[in-house]
Amino acid sequence: MPENKFNVENIDIAWCPGCGDFSILKILKDVFMELSLNPEDVCMVSGIGQAAKIPQYIKCNYFNGLHGCALPPATGIKAVNPNLTVIAESGDGDIYGEGGNHFIHCIRRNPDIVNIVHDNMIYGLTKGQASPTSRLGHKTPVQVAGVILEPFNPIAFAIVLGASFVARAFAGDQEQTKEILKKAIKHKGYALIDIFQPCVSFNKINTFQWFKEHTYYLDADYNPEDRNKALEKAFEEEKFPLGIIYVNKDKKSFEENLTVYREKQDPLVFRELNRKDKLEQLLNQKK
What tens digit of pLDDT does each residue of 62-73 get? Answer: 999 888 999 999
Helices then strands, each counted (H, E), the chain = 10, 8
Q: Is 201 a member of any domain?
A: yes
Identify the bridge partners of residue 217 per DSSP, sorted by sequence position. 242
Tell me the residue range of the domain where 194 lies.
21-286
> Do the domain assignments include residue 14?
no
Bridge partners of residue 89, in order along the sequence: 46, 116
Residue 15 is assigned to a structural domain of this protein:
no
Q: What is the secondary structure of 225-258 as a DSSP string? A: T-HHHHHHHHT--SSEEEEEEEE-TTSPPHHHH-
Are 231 and 159 a contacting pair, CB within 8 Å?
A: yes
The region of weakest confidence among 46-50, 104-108, 124-128, 240-244 is 124-128
Q: What is the CATH number of the domain that holds 37?
A: 3.40.50.970
Q: Is residue 208 part of a domain?
A: yes
Does residue 4 lie within any of the structural domains? no
First to last CA, the chain: 66
Mean predicted lDDT score pLDDT of the chain = 93
Give the C-alpha separation, 111 to 240, whole Å: 27
CB 222 within 8 A of CB 230: no
Asked if residue 230 is part of any domain, the answer here is yes
- Name the amino acid, one letter, at 203: N
The total domain count for the chain is 1
Kindly state whether residue 142 falls inside one of the protein's structural domains. yes
Residues forming a β-bridge with 240: 215
The verdict on residue 227 lying in a domain is yes
- Whole-model pTM: value is 0.92
Tens of pLDDT along 174-183? 999 999 999 9
Question: What is the distance between the alpha carbons of residues 179 and 112, in angstroms, rounded to a whole number?
Answer: 18
Single-letter amino acid, residue 279: L
